[in-house]
Amino acid sequence: MRRFGSAHLLLPFSRAVSQFDDPTFRGVVVLSVAWSVVGFVALLAASIGIVHRVLALHGWWAWGADALGSIATSLLALWLFLPVAAAIGTLYFDRIAASVERRFYPWLPPPNGASLLAQAWDGIAVALRVLGLTLVGLVLAIGLPGIGLILGWMVTAYAIGRGLFVAVAMRRMPREAAESLYRQNRGVVLCQGAILALAAYVPLVNLLIPILGVAAMVHVLDIVLTEAAASGR
């Protein structure tokens, strides 16, 4: 929405962070972080194991290769963790959104949007989209050092922003309306995606991205709908 001012830019993310004192929210955080840690450790162990088997060296060469390989695969696992986090976030999607609405928007009626099947499929689609675009970002970062990293961040911002916003909107409207609302507010949504994508590359903070992302997009949805109503659109 064009009227979404700069004062609102950090509001969704800051409100999402402020809710960590909510008991329901904390419960989801514990579960999500636990699954995220398991996913990250599994991804890291698999990556290191593959490098060790592929190199199959001996002596000091093996030690050096394993050390460098472990560092490289740790960075790779950190980069590829975002799709894992997105998939985990879909497990608790509705619980996170309901918790945010209960605290900040208690006057809202119960959600009555797309069917549960459509929402579940969209959650899977979000994870797959983030995975695919994260791989594109990785190729850009490796193939174009410096600028590739920036392009990769932009690609990730799109994947997170568009995916989570449409998924959140679908709780309260059909898919077609959610897609249309995204197109009308593309700049706003992608700005929030950029903030989340940046935070996703901070160790430990990346474990909270599934929760922060969904919570932030609930606030974005409320802001754009409120401004749309105020402007008579």
Q: Treating both helix axes as pointing N-terminal to C-terminal, what angle do 209-230 and 186-199 enclose, rounded to 10 degrees?
A: 160
The residue type of 5 is: G
In tens, the pLDDT along 106-131 reads 998 888 766 666 666 666 676 677 66
Backbone angles phi, psi at 23, to 5 degrees: -55, -45
**Rounded-to-integer distance, Cα 214 and Cα 194, Å:** 14
Q: What is the average pLDDT value for the chain, to the nearest integer? A: 76
Q: Please, which residues have CB within 8 angstroms of residue 159's CB and are 6 or more apart in sequence?
A: 129, 130, 132, 133, 134, 193
In tens, the pLDDT along 49-91 reads 666 666 555 555 555 655 665 666 666 656 666 666 666 666 7
Give the whole-number percent of the chain exceeding pLDDT 70.
Answer: 64
The predicted pLDDT at position 180 comes to 92
**For 1-10, 147-156, 183-192, 194-203, which range has the lowest pLDDT when averaged over its residues?**
1-10
The residue type of 93 is: F
20: pLDDT strictly greater than 80: yes
Helix (H) or strand (E) holding 177: helix 175-184
The predicted pLDDT at position 26 comes to 81
- Enter the tokens of residue 208: 């909270």
Backbone angles phi, psi at 115, to 5 degrees: -65, 160
DSSP secondary structure string for all residues of 11-38: HHHHHHHHGGG-HHHHHHHHHHHHHHHH
32: pLDDT strictly greater than 80: no
DSSP secondary structure string for all residues of 193-229: HHHHHHHTTSTTGGGGHHHHHHHHHHHHHHHHHHHHH
Confidence of residue 2 (pLDDT cuts 50, 70, 90): very low
Confidence of residue 233 (pLDDT cuts 50, 70, 90): low
